Structure 1
Amino acid sequence: MAILRLALIIIFCLLQYRLWFGENSLSDYVLLNEKLSQVKAENAALLQRNKLMKADIDDLRLGSESIEERARNELGLIREGEIFYRIIPTK
């Protein structure tokens, strides 16, 4: 009976060692959960960026106003006959 009890205690200790320090231990589980939350946050940010880009693409496909706005803001283009005023702030 003492041998059986000793064998069960040894098995229990080995299982506890695997739980705390072995492969796929609790510390690995915690690290993986942290990585998972980081990846979910990155995915949410990328999803939001993709939605904005899709909205931009739809605007460019459907309307000429968005194309004109981009040409004015990004390329500095103006229409023929327009006057462009640039106001430089003083310090």
Structure 2
Amino acid sequence: MRLITLALAALLLLIQYPLWLGKGGWLRVKDFEGQVDIAHKKNAELIARNAKLDSEVRDLKDGTGAVEERARYELSMIKQNEIFIQIVGKGQAAAPPPLAPKPPEN
């Protein structure tokens, strides 16, 4: 009787192995679900980025407003007969002037 019980317990363990650790086991499925969730999040970020870039390209192709804005902020360009005024806020300090190099000591 004891031998039959041990044999049945061994068979039960053998049946459980593929369920937990096999090719389609629960642990592997959980791992794949985590990978799929990460891929979905990354795809959503990339879709949002592509939509932003697409709208930016359309703006650059269709109108001059986007080109003018880029020229102003990235290249610090101003229009003709325009005066550039920069206001330094309380939290911002003006950049100190560069220091003159020290003469070498003898």
Q: TM-score range by the shorter chain?
A: 0.7 to 0.9
| 1:8-35 Cα shifts (integer Å, max 9, x gaps) | x72x532211111223311110011011
Structure 1 stretches lacking a partner, 5+ long: none
Asked if the contact 2:21/2:28 (under 8 Å) is kept, the reply is: no
Give the CA RMSD over aligned residues.
1.9
Tell me what 1:82 maps to: 82
Kindly indicate whether residue 73 of structure 2 is the aligned counterpart of residue 64 of structure 1: no
Kindly indicate whether residue 13 of structure 2 is the aligned counterpart of residue 13 of structure 1: yes
Q: Which has the higher contact order (CA 8 A, sep 6+)?
A: 1
Secondary structure of the structure 1 residue equivalent to 2:71:
helix
TM-score by length of 2: 0.71
Paired residues, number:
85
Report the structure number with the largest CA radius of gyration: 2
Structure 2 stretches lacking a partner, 5+ long: 92-106
TM-score by length of 1: 0.82
Name the one with the larger helix percent.
1
**Aligned structure 1 segments of 4 or more residues deviating by more than 4 angstroms:** none
Tell me what 2:95 maps to: none
